[in-house]
Amino acid sequence: MTSRSILALLSLLLGSLVSVSDESQTPRFDVLIKNGSIVDGSGRPAYNADLAIKGDRIVRIGDLSRETAARVIDAQGLVVAPGFIDLLGQFEGYLLIDPRAMSKVMQGVTTEVTGEGESIAPINERQIKEQEERSLRDCDEG
């Protein structure tokens, strides 16, 4: 074997090693939720599957056991579902205490329709006076 063919072979081997290591370092998805019970909101029964997220989108659902991701979550024994919409939340007062609404988010609520009939904002002096008695009563009962 000539030195030129050895150099060509070495070049090919190094090139293939570099591309393999690049692939293994770059995850295909941002988040991979594995082993979850998927409830997709369609009305069909829950099913076991993995779910891949890239950016802000769900990009694949199925057997993704061979896929890579920057973050992997094991959802064994847990339900994976879209965010829930609370159509009658009556929660607006608590948003003044915790604007992130973590007590809702931790339950899977991602959207809340609120302010039916009255709202906490915008509010004026007349509305404050009208709500004062009820607010004081609610505080005493709490």
Question: What is the per-residue pLDDT for 10?
Answer: 37
pLDDT tens readout for residues 75-131: 999 999 888 888 887 767 777 788 888 888 888 898 888 877 666 777 788 877 877
Any idea which residue has 């847990």 for tokens? 78
Could you write out the three-class secondary structure of 47-112? EEEEEEEECCEEEEEECCCCCCEEEEEECCCCEECCCEEECCCCCHHHHCCCCCCHHHHCCCEEEE
pLDDT tens readout for residues 8-65: 433 444 443 443 434 456 899 999 999 999 998 889 999 999 999 999 899 999 999 9
In the 8-state DSSP scheme, what is residue 130?
H
Contact at 8 Å (CB) between 67 and 29? yes
Beta-bridged to residue 33, according to DSSP, are: 51, 73
Question: What is the per-residue pLDDT for 125?
Answer: 83
Q: What CATH fold (topology level) applies to the domain 3-80?
A: Urease, subunit C; domain 1 (2.30.40)
In the 8-state DSSP scheme, what is residue 44?
S
C-alpha–C-alpha distance, residues 76 and 50, integer Å? 10
Beta strands 29-38; 79-80: pairing state: parallel
Hey, where are the domains in the chain?
3-80, 84-141
**Angstrom distances, CA of residue 137 to CA of 104, 114, 140:** 25, 22, 5
Question: What is the per-residue pLDDT for 107?
Answer: 87
